[in-house]
Amino acid sequence: MTVLGPVLLAALIIVPALVTLYGTEKTVIAVLDETKIFSKLNSPNDKDISYVYVKGTPDERKQDIIDKKYTALLYIPDNPYTIAGMIYATSTLNTGVISNVLAALKRNMSHEILIHNFNIDQDSLDTYINEQTNSINLGYTHIDKDGNEETKDSFNRAIQFAVGIVAGILIYLFIFMYGSMVLRGVLEEKSNRIVEIMVSSVKPIQLMIGKITGVVLIGLTQIIVWIVLTGVIVLIFQLNMPSLIDGEQVNATAIMQTVPQRAAMTDPSAIYALAEQSEAGQVMNALSEIDFVRLIILFLFYFMGGYFLYATLYAAVGSAVDNDTDTQQFLLPLSLPLLLTLILSTFVADNPDGQVAFWLSIIPFTSPVSMLMRLPAGSEVVPTWELLLSCSILLLTCIASAWVAAKIYRTGILMYGKKISYKELWKWLRYKN
DSSP string, 210-247: HHHHHHHHHHHHHHHHHHHHHHHHHHHHHHH-GGGT-S
Domain that holds residue 105: 26-152
The answer on 196 and 120 residing in a single domain is no
The answer on 168 and 112 residing in a single domain is no
Report the Cα 123 to chain-centroid distance in Å: 46
The answer on 235 and 191 residing in a single domain is yes
Distance (Å, whole) CA 368 – CA 394 = 9
Domain boundary among 132, 152, 172: 152
Distance (Å, whole) CA 371 – CA 355 = 13
- The DSSP bridge partners found for residue 87 are 74, 140
Predicted pLDDT at 366 = 92
Residue 274 lies in a domain: no
Amino acid at 407: K
Domain boundary among 152, 187, 213: 152
Residue 261 lies in a domain: no
Distance (Å, whole) CA 35 – CA 136 = 13
Residue 39 lies in a domain: yes
The per-residue pLDDT string of the chain (433 residues; one tens digit each, 9 = 90 and over) reads 677 767 777 777 777 777 766 666 678 888 888 877 777 777 766 677 888 888 888 888 888 888 888 888 888 887 766 677 788 888 777 767 777 787 777 777 654 455 555 555 555 555 555 554 555 667 777 777 777 777 666 667 778 888 889 989 999 999 989 988 988 888 888 878 887 788 778 888 888 888 899 999 998 898 889 888 888 887 887 777 665 554 444 444 444 444 444 333 344 444 344 444 445 556 666 777 788 888 899 999 999 999 999 999 998 888 888 777 777 778 888 888 888 888 888 888 888 888 888 899 999 999 999 999 988 887 778 888 999 999 999 999 999 998 888 888 888 887 777 777 778 888 888 776 5
Report the SS3 class of residue 87. strand
Distance (Å, whole) CA 288 – CA 249 = 12
CATH code for position 128: 3.40.190.10
In this structure, what are the phi and psi dihedrals at residue 430, rounded to the nearest 5 degrees? Answer: -90, -5
The answer on 317 and 404 residing in a single domain is yes
| Nearest alpha-carbon partner for 284 in 242, 228, 253 | 242
Residue 402 lies in a domain: yes
Residue 176 lies in a domain: yes
**Which strands sit side by side in the sheet containing 49-53, from one edge to the other?**
49-53, 27-33, 72-76, 84-89, 137-143, 149-152
The answer on 167 and 148 residing in a single domain is no
In this structure, what are the phi and psi dihedrals at residue 84, rounded to the nearest 5 degrees? Answer: -140, 115
Report the SS3 class of residue 73. strand
| Nearest alpha-carbon partner for 188 in 359, 327, 346 | 327
Distance (Å, whole) CA 289 – CA 292 = 9
- The DSSP bridge partners found for residue 75 are 32, 86
Distance (Å, whole) CA 382 – CA 386 = 6
Residue 277 lies in a domain: no
- Contact between 29 and 101 under an 8 Å Cβ cutoff? The reply is yes
Domain boundary among 97, 123, 152: 152
Q: How much is the pTM?
A: 0.72
For 37, what's the count of Cα atoms within 13 Å in the CB-facing half-sphere?
A: 27
The answer on 70 and 204 residing in a single domain is no
As for how many domains the chain has, the answer is 2
Predicted pLDDT at 252 = 41
- Contact between 99 and 105 under an 8 Å Cβ cutoff? The reply is no
In this structure, what are the phi and psi dihedrals at residue 35, rounded to the nearest 5 degrees? Answer: -80, -20
The answer on 117 and 46 residing in a single domain is yes
Which residues lie closer than 8 Å to 104 by C-beta, 6 or more apart?
38, 41, 42, 43, 51
| Nearest alpha-carbon partner for 308 in 206, 190, 170, 182 | 182
Distance (Å, whole) CA 98 – CA 161 = 13
- The DSSP bridge partners found for residue 139 are 86
The answer on 136 and 35 residing in a single domain is yes
Which residues lie closer than 8 Å to 258 by C-beta, 6 or more apart?
274
| Nearest alpha-carbon partner for 331 in 342, 320, 341 | 320
Residue 256 lies in a domain: no
**pLDDT tens, position by position, 105-143:** 777 765 445 555 555 555 555 555 555 455 566 777 777
Query: Judging by DSSP bridges, how do beta strands 137-143 and 84-89 pair with one another?
Result: parallel
**pLDDT tens, position by position, 147-157:** 777 766 666 77
- The DSSP bridge partners found for residue 89 are 72, 142
The answer on 111 and 164 residing in a single domain is no
Burial of 6 (0-12, 13-18, 19+ CB in 10 A): exposed
The answer on 191 and 219 residing in a single domain is yes
Which residues lie closer than 8 Å to 133 by C-beta, 6 or more apart?
106, 109
Predicted pLDDT at 28 = 85
**Containing H/E element for 30?**
strand 27-33
The answer on 216 and 130 residing in a single domain is no
**pLDDT tens, position by position, 54-87:** 888 888 888 888 888 888 888 888 776 667 778 8
The answer on 292 and 357 residing in a single domain is yes
Residue 250 lies in a domain: no
Distance (Å, whole) CA 398 – CA 306 = 8
Distance (Å, whole) CA 73 – CA 90 = 10
Distance (Å, whole) CA 327 – CA 317 = 7
| Nearest alpha-carbon partner for 412 in 183, 210, 177 | 183
Predicted pLDDT at 113 = 53
Predicted pLDDT at 272 = 40
